[in-house]
Amino acid sequence: MTEVLLFHHAQGLTAGCLAFADTLRAAGHVVHTPDLYDGNTFAELDAGIAYASGVGFDTIRKRGVIAAEALPDALVYAGFSLGAMPAQQLAQSRPGAKGALLMHAAIPPAEFGSPWPPGLPLQIHTMTDDELGDADVASELATSIDEAEVFLYPGDKHLFTDNSLAAYDADAAALVEERALAFLDRIG
């Protein structure tokens, strides 16, 4: 059993984000899903990005860091797209982190003011032609981190793991779930 702190994407804590969390829970993991948007969800990605921009991306990231404060240190930090920001920051900076699971995004470690911690496992999932998915950053991270796995899926959809959105790709999402569960089992 692994304990996971899972952050939602720019469209909010959607039914698809919650379904992914439930898949992890059904496999025996404890999953926390804080709402960084105060209950707001958006049908369109652009509207969600506009909301985050209005609130401030730094504020959203800080909300994620605050959400971790009441939880144990030994967590896997996970995030979908926008949620990868607080997930990656916490994985890099919070003592006791067990790993990071990033979907649809990857951020250069220098953005958080510290290198990737030695020995900290990382798994990234994105589509090869998704302009927002940062496949190049993900691939670069994989070459610089000892325990990194990067899975690139064919296509250009962004939030393809969220079964409540039009971008959902059932086949790719099933592979993400399978690989994420194997990652969590190895860490646990």
Identify the pLDDT of residue 134. 87
Would you state the structure tokens that stand for residue 41, as one six-digit string? 């969800």
pTM score of the predicted model:
0.97
What distance in Å separates the CA atoms of residue 135 and residue 28, rounded to the nearest whole number?
30
User: Per-domain residue ranges for the chain?
Assistant: 3-187
Mean pLDDT of 159-177: 98
C-beta atoms surrounding 69 within 10 Å: 7
Tell me the backbone φ, ψ of residue 6, rounded to 5 degrees.
-110, 120
pLDDT value of residue 158 = 96
Name residues whose C-beta falls within 8 Å of residue 182's C-beta, 6 or more positions apart in sequence.
none
Q: Give the C-alpha separation, 152 to 171, whole Å.
A: 13
Q: What whole-number distance in Å separates Cα of residue 65 and Cα of residue 89?
A: 8
Q: Beta strand 76-80 with 3-7: parallel, antiparallel or unpaired? A: parallel
Q: Was domain 3-187 assigned CATH 3.40.50.1820? A: yes
Contacts for 116 with CB less than 8 Å, ≥ 6 apart: 92, 109, 122, 141, 144, 145
**What confidence tier does 26 reach under pLDDT thresholds 50, 70, 90?**
very high
Residues 59-91 have pLDDT tens digits of: 999 999 999 999 999 999 999 999 999 999 999
The more confident residue out of 7 and 109 is 7
